[in-house]
Structure 1
């Protein structure tokens, strides 16, 4: 597997991308794909004048076997040592990090599908925003039912990258920015259910019984849970607009964990009815709900003959994880991150799982 290094040059509203070098002699590579946040990478390579000239900040690092994820070099660290040798550490994030350079300005009130809301935000701040444009940026493919659900919301001054991934976590979708020739394409998508709780797709089961679950740790914490929101909007005293929000049936008694959401700065515009304004408040309430905290870390077999990563299953998919020795079964759990590591010991996979409703 080779690394490809590209130059990225902005030409007003367009970009020019050209291949600068191909590298296959690095000491180690970490390739961290995340579902609810921007992924990152690290290349550890022997330092030489040639490598220092190749790996420059602002250049793109790609893998010959990955057409979806492209990293942009953000940090370089050169260390010289007479005994151990000279090494260069190259780090950065995937191309979605470019959205971190923009905020949502001015206030946007949107009503429609989540896809339409994202399109509106990106159009006004990234795609059709004059000198605020990200050159070569446009919407790509959209897949997954979660992006067709509807909402009404008002958003202003949020960092676009943080806002977009926050929205993704709320609706269980994700986004990725990929390189497509001389263009940057922003895709919206969702994971596929491959757990034992469905029969539409082949089951993916990681289990000590199948020898594809090498190690396993699990922890759960209810203390951070918030499942019922009181949302107060504009106005003063008893005249403040207010509503509540919960997901599904209203929780009661010991199962109820309340949170207060202050949205006094969310203005009700003249063309927004009271009912529409309350829907905006409900959308804010949904963003403040917190599921019980769980931590599930595992090491899975990188060269399993049963399932191959990025062929049989992907980050964002729902799978089943079993630790039969202790009788712990997670029948439907989401794979929200995967760190691929390549070094002198070979390839390893370190997944991150998250329980869902």
Structure 2
């Protein structure tokens, strides 16, 4: 595996990318891919004038074996030591972090039922793709895959950080968002905004080969288990503009000890929308639906997580070939009688150092 460093220059025709260096002699690399958040990376390498000139803030870092994730160098740290040598540490986030440079402005409003795919793609278009100073050069609409993005909702949002809001919608739908880099002509690259969904590979289905991590299969090397019921919210009391109020539930109305309430201040949700540039009022029924959707964004659920170390060179499954971030798999620890028949792989840290390669996944129900 090699690290590729690209210089990025914005031109009228797109993003001009030039390969600056290819490196395979780094001391360590952490490659942290997240399903419901922006992933990150860390590179630790011997310091030299050449490396300092190559690894500059704003440059893109990629891997020759991963064409889905590219990072932007955000911080650089130089450490000199007469005994241990001189080292550079570079950290940054993946290309989705470009959306964190924008907020949602002006108000984005969908008063009729609209698919989440169209809602999110419109939000990104109007705040990061449309021509003008807010445009992220060469950012384009990519692919949409997964039935989760066909779910529909009414929604109004304003002033939220664009990247954070996109991942909030991802948690609601069960999908994920990513920006990848793709060459469209010789030396010219475009950034593509994709929406996708993980695949069910658990023992609860028969369409795909089962992926089971277990101590009995010798592919589960370490196992940390945690369950947290302390933070929950399944009933939202929402207060909108002009003291309009409603209550939203997660499914049927919960009662007694199963009811966890939260208050949501949504007076910034306006009872109006824009059609062809003209501001028009919306009905009380449509407005209450918008408030209910705003309340649903604040629901909190019990969490059951597993952080493990799994076999890298196992003969059974290979990461990014047999299973991927976002997939549902089965995790079990038979010695303690713990079985999670369907749990989602929401994060994977790949680590490369003098000891070789290791995989540290995070699973979450």
TM-score by length of 2: 0.94
- 1: CA distance, partners of 2:211 / 2:233: 31
Q: In structure 2, what is the equivalent of residue 221 of structure 1?
A: 228
Q: In structure 2, what is the equivalent of residue 58 of structure 1?
A: 58
Compute the displacement of 1:11 (Å). Answer: 2.0
Residues 150-173 of structure 1: CA distance to partner in whole angstroms, max 9, x if unpaired? 111111011101111111111111
Distance 1:129 1:271, change over 3 A: farther
Q: In structure 1, what is the equivalent of residue 334 of structure 2?
A: 324
CA contact (8 A) 1:173 1:191 kept: yes
CA contact (8 A) 1:104 1:125 kept: yes
Residues 323-345 of structure 1: CA distance to partner in whole angstroms, max 9, x if unpaired? 11111111111110000000100
Residues 128-168 of structure 1: CA distance to partner in whole angstroms, max 9, x if unpaired? 14111000101101001111111111110111011111111
Runs of 4+ in 1 over 4 A off after TM superposition: none
- 1: CA distance, partners of 2:336 / 2:142: 45
1:71 aligns with 2:74: no
Query: Could you say what secondary structure the match of 1:180 adopts?
Result: strand
- 2: CA distance, partners of 1:156 / 1:266: 8
Query: Could you say what secondary structure the match of 1:123 adopts?
Result: helix
Compute the displacement of 1:12 (Å). Answer: 4.7
Q: In structure 2, what is the equivalent of residue 278 of structure 1?
A: 288
Query: Could you say what secondary structure the match of 1:288 adopts?
Result: coil
- 2: CA distance, partners of 1:42 / 1:85: 19
- 1: CA distance, partners of 2:101 / 2:36: 18
- 1: CA distance, partners of 2:165 / 2:131: 18
1:31 aligns with 2:38: no
Query: Could you say what secondary structure the match of 2:316 adopts?
Result: coil
- 2: CA distance, partners of 1:289 / 1:25: 46
Q: In structure 2, what is the equivalent of residue 20 of structure 1?
A: 20
- 2: CA distance, partners of 1:223 / 1:65: 41
Q: 328-337 or 293-302: which moved more?
A: 293-302
CA contact (8 A) 1:4 1:21 kept: yes
Structure 1 stretches lacking a partner, 5+ long? none
CA contact (8 A) 1:219 1:296 kept: yes
Q: In structure 2, what is the equivalent of residue 232 of structure 1?
A: 239
1:147 aligns with 2:149: yes
Structure-to-structure mapping, 1:123-272, within 5 angstroms: 123-181=125-183, 182-235=189-242, 240-269=243-272, 270-272=280-282
Query: Could you say what secondary structure the match of 1:340 adopts?
Result: strand
Q: In structure 2, what is the equivalent of residue 352 of structure 1?
A: 362
Compute the displacement of 1:5 (Å). Answer: 0.7
TM-score by length of 1: 0.96
Picking from 293, 298, 308, the partner of 2:308 is 298
- 2: CA distance, partners of 1:118 / 1:20: 34
- 1: CA distance, partners of 2:196 / 2:296: 20
Count of residue pairs brought into register by the alignment: 351
- 2: CA distance, partners of 1:71 / 1:221: 32
CA contact (8 A) 1:123 1:129 kept: no
- 1: CA distance, partners of 2:247 / 2:14: 45
Q: 269-278 or 37-46: which moved more?
A: 269-278
- 2: CA distance, partners of 1:247 / 1:145: 20
Query: Could you say what secondary structure the match of 2:241 adopts?
Result: coil
